[in-house]
Amino acid sequence: MTATIAPPDAAPTRPSRRSAPARSRTQRREARNGWALLSPSVIILAVMVGYPAGVMIYQSFTDYSVKNKVQGTWPNFVGFDNYIEVFTASQFPDVLVRSLGLMVAMTAFIVFFGVLIAVLMTRLSRTWRITVSVGLLLAWAMPPLAATVVWGWIFDTKYGVVNYLLNTITGTSDFTNHSWLENPWTFFVVLTIIVVWQGIPFVAFTTYAALGQVPGEVLEASSLDGATGLKRFRLVVFPYLRSVLTVVLVLQIIWNLRIFTQVYALQSRGGIASETNVLGTYLFRQGVGEFGITSAIGVVMVVLLLVLSWGYVRTTLKEEEL
Amino acid sequence: MSTQVSSGMQLGTAGVEEVLDGGTPARPRRRSAQSRRPSPRRVAVRTLLNIAALIVFLCSVFPVYWMVNMALTPSNQIISRTPSFFPFEATFRNFVTAWSREAAPGQTDFPHALISTMTVTGGVLVVTLLFAFLASVAVARFHFGGRRGFIVSVLIVQMIPGEAMMFTIYGMIDDWRLMNTLLGLGIVYTATVIPFTIWTLRGFVAGVPADLEEAAMIDGCTKTQAFWRVTFPLLAPGLVSTGIFAFIQAWNEFTMALLLMKGYNLTLMPWLNSFQSATEATNWGAVMAGSTLIAIPVVIFFLFVQGRMTGGLVSGAVKG
pLDDT for res B12: 36
DSSP single-letter state for residue B11: G
Task: Point out the domain boundary residue: B47, B72, B91.
Answer: B91
- Render pLDDT for A133-174 as a digit per residue (tens, 0 to 9): 999 999 999 999 999 999 999 998 888 899 999 998 988 888
Are B282 and B180 within one domain? Answer: yes
pLDDT tier at A10, thresholds 50, 70, 90: very low
pLDDT for res B24: 46
Tell me the pLDDT of chain B averaged across its residues.
82
What is the rounded distance in angstroms from the CA atom of residue B228 to the CA atom of residue B230?
6
On whether any CB of chain A is under 8 Å from the CB of B2, the answer is yes
What is the rounded distance in angstroms from the CA atom of residue B97 to the CA atom of residue B82?
23
Are B76 and B180 within one domain? Answer: no
Contacts of residue A164 in chain B, CB cutoff 8 Å?
81-83
Nearest to B108 by CA among B309, B257, B312: B257
Are the C-beta atoms of residues B266 and B275 closer than 8 Å to each other? Answer: no
On whether any CB of chain A is under 8 Å from the CB of B96, the answer is no
Asked whether residue A11 carries a pLDDT value surpassing 60, the answer given is: no
Residues 6+ apart with CB under 8 A from A198: A139, A140, A142, A144, A147
On whether any CB of chain B is under 8 Å from the CB of A87, the answer is no
Q: How far is B27 from chain A (nearest CA, A)?
A: 5
What is the rounded distance in angstroms from the CA atom of residue A280 to the CA atom of residue A264?
9
What is the rounded distance in angstroms from the CA atom of residue B14 to the CA atom of residue B16?
7
- Say whether B299 and A141 touch across the interface (CB within 8 A): yes
Contacts of residue A316 in chain B, CB cutoff 8 Å?
5, 155, 315
CB atoms within 10 A of CB B101: 14
pLDDT tier at A19, thresholds 50, 70, 90: low
On whether any CB of chain A is under 8 Å from the CB of B145, the answer is yes
Q: If you write DSSP's letter for every residue of B138-179 in order, what string do you get?
A: HHHH---TTHHHHHHHHHHHHHS-GGGGHHHHHHHHHHTT-T
Q: How far is A273 from chain B (nearest CA, A)?
A: 14
Are B257 and B113 within one domain? Answer: yes
Contacts of residue B156 in chain A, CB cutoff 8 Å?
306, 309, 313
On whether any CB of chain A is under 8 Å from the CB of B150, the answer is yes
What is the rounded distance in angstroms from the CA atom of residue A224 to the CA atom of residue B2?
23
Whole-number Cα distances in Å, A3 to A7, A160, A240, A276: 12, 46, 10, 43
In this prediction, residues A279-302 reach a mean pLDDT of: 91
In a domain, A11, yes or no: no
Which residues span the domain enclosing A170? 91-285
Give the domain CATH number at A224.
1.10.3720.10
pLDDT for res A209: 86
pLDDT tier at A24, thresholds 50, 70, 90: confident
What is the rounded distance in angstroms from the CA atom of residue A273 to the CA atom of residue A286?
12
In a domain, A176, yes or no: yes
- Say whether A298 and B164 touch across the interface (CB within 8 A): yes
Cα angle B70, B319, B114; round to 5: 50
Number of folded domains in chain B?
2
In a domain, A290, yes or no: no
Indicate if the alpha-carbon torsion angle B218, B219, B222, B224 is positive or negative: negative
In a domain, B317, yes or no: no
In a domain, B261, yes or no: yes
**For A204, which residue in chain B has the nearest alpha carbon?**
B14
What is the rounded distance in angstroms from the CA atom of residue B16 to the CA atom of residue A49?
35
pLDDT for res B311: 62
Are B68 and B152 within one domain? Answer: no
In a domain, B319, yes or no: no
**For B46, which residue in chain A has the nearest alpha carbon?**
A124
Any alpha helices (H) in chain A, and if so which ranges?
Answer: 10-13, 20-45, 51-59, 66-71, 81-88, 92-122, 126-141, 144-154, 161-170, 184-211, 216-224, 229-232, 238-257, 261-267, 273-276, 279-286, 291-320
Are B113 and B208 within one domain? Answer: yes
User: Looking at chain A from residue 125 to 184, which residues have their Cβ under 8 Å from any Cβ of chain B?
Assistant: 126, 128-147, 149-154, 158-159, 161, 164, 176
In a domain, A270, yes or no: yes
On whether any CB of chain B is under 8 Å from the CB of A244, the answer is yes
In a domain, A57, yes or no: no
pLDDT for res B10: 33
- Say whether A176 and B81 touch across the interface (CB within 8 A): yes
Give the domain CATH number at B301.
1.10.3720.10
* pLDDT mean for each 10 residues of chain B (320 residues): 32 45 47 62 90 96 95 84 82 88 83 95 95 93 87 87 88 93 95 91 85 84 84 87 89 94 92 75 86 93 76 51
Are B87 and B166 within one domain? Answer: no
Interface A-B, measured as beta-carbon pairs within 8 A, has a size of 409
Are B172 and B285 within one domain? Answer: yes
In a domain, B12, yes or no: no
In this prediction the pTM is: 0.87
Q: How many residues does this entry show for chain B? A: 320
On whether any CB of chain A is under 8 Å from the CB of B242, the answer is no
Nearest to A119 by CA among B14, B309, B25: B25
Are B253 and B161 within one domain? Answer: yes
In a domain, B2, yes or no: no
Are B54 and B145 within one domain? Answer: no
On whether any CB of chain A is under 8 Å from the CB of B143, the answer is yes
Q: Hey, of B82, B197, B314, B318, which one would you mutate to test binding to chain A, going by the most A CBs within 10 A of its CB?
A: B314
In a domain, A295, yes or no: no
Nearest to B283 by CA among A260, A191, A182, A149: A149
In a domain, B23, yes or no: no
Task: Point out the domain boundary residue: B27, B58, B91.
Answer: B91
Select from A117, A130, A209 the Cβ nearest to the Cβ of B14: A209
- A17-31, A236-250, B185-199: which is most confident: B185-199
- Render pLDDT for A71-114 as a digit per residue (tens, 0 to 9): 888 888 888 999 999 999 889 999 999 999 999 999 999 999 99
ipTM of the complex, rounded to two decimals? 0.86
pLDDT for res B1: 30
In a domain, B254, yes or no: yes
User: Looking at chain A from residue 278 to 317, which residues have their Cβ under 8 Å from any Cβ of chain B?
Assistant: 279-280, 283-284, 286, 288, 291, 294-295, 297-299, 301-302, 305-306, 309, 312-313, 316-317
Contacts of residue A206 in chain B, CB cutoff 8 Å?
14, 310, 313-314
Which residues span the domain enclosing B45? 39-91
What is the rounded distance in angstroms from the CA atom of residue B71 to the CA atom of residue B92?
8
Residue B102, beta-bridge partner list? B109
pLDDT tier at A233, thresholds 50, 70, 90: confident
pLDDT for res B277: 64
Are B68 and B129 within one domain? Answer: no
Are B159 and B251 within one domain? Answer: yes
Are B180 and B262 within one domain? Answer: yes
Select from B53, B163, B287 the Cβ nearest to the Cβ of A258: B163
Nearest to A255 by CA among A111, A149, A66, A154: A111
In a domain, A304, yes or no: no
CB atoms within 10 A of CB A206: 28
User: Between residues A17 and B150, which one has the greater pLDDT?
Assistant: B150
In a domain, B117, yes or no: yes
Number of folded domains in chain A?
1
**Which amino acid is it at B230?**
V
Taking the CA of residue A236 as centre, how many other CA atoms within 13 Å lie in the half-sphere pointing to its CB? 21
- Say whether B80 and A159 touch across the interface (CB within 8 A): yes
In a domain, A148, yes or no: yes
Q: How far is B167 from chain A (nearest CA, A)?
A: 7
Contacts of residue A35 in chain B, CB cutoff 8 Å?
138, 144, 146
